[in-house]
Amino acid sequence: MKNTYALKKDVNIRGLIVDDEEDIGWMVSKFLTSRNLKVDYVDRIEKARQKILTNSYQVYFLDLNLPDGTGFDLISDIRNNNNKSKIIIISAYDGITETRRAKEMKVDLFIKKPFTKKQVLEAIEDLD
């Protein structure tokens, strides 16, 4: 039986998930880890900043509504550390203001909650 959530190619990707909803962070982490990605998960902006400074990630999954700020607060830190990293926002806050700001900040993809595993997989498909 074909796995409908398989990557099209072998990848060596490291990612950071920043989301205060533990069940979402855990689910995305487990899903990506099962696809041979190395993933770290944090639930606060300050924890994410520490990870960004000490690790090299190719992809970031950011929630917008966090207890100590928004995912937007991390974008300059990410760009300063590795301008080629892919930034993906996963958020229920997907109004005109948020999507416009994401576009202005050159976010690579905006995925609305609730989301599917397929959307997450497609978001990382072009990374190498």
**CATH number for the domain that contains residue 85:** 3.40.50.2300
Rounded distance, CA 94 to CA 128, Å?
28
Structural domain includes residue 5: no
Structural domain includes residue 8: no
The tens place of each residue's pLDDT in the chain, 128 residues long, gives: 334 444 444 457 899 999 999 999 999 999 899 888 999 999 999 999 999 999 999 999 999 999 999 999 999 999 998 778 999 999 998 899 999 999 999 999 999 988 888 888 888 886 65
Cβ neighbours of residue 96 under 8 Å, at least 6 residues apart? none
Query: CA torsion angle for 39, 7, 19, 51 (degrees, to 10)?
Result: 30
Structural domain includes residue 1: no
Rounded distance, CA 116 to CA 111, Å?
9
Number of domains in the chain: 1
Domain containing 31: what range? 14-124
Structural domain includes residue 38: yes
Rounded distance, CA 87 to CA 84, Å?
9
Structural domain includes residue 3: no
Which pTM value belongs to this model? 0.86
Structural domain includes residue 4: no
Structural domain includes residue 31: yes
Structural domain includes residue 34: yes
What pLDDT was estimated at residue 8? 45
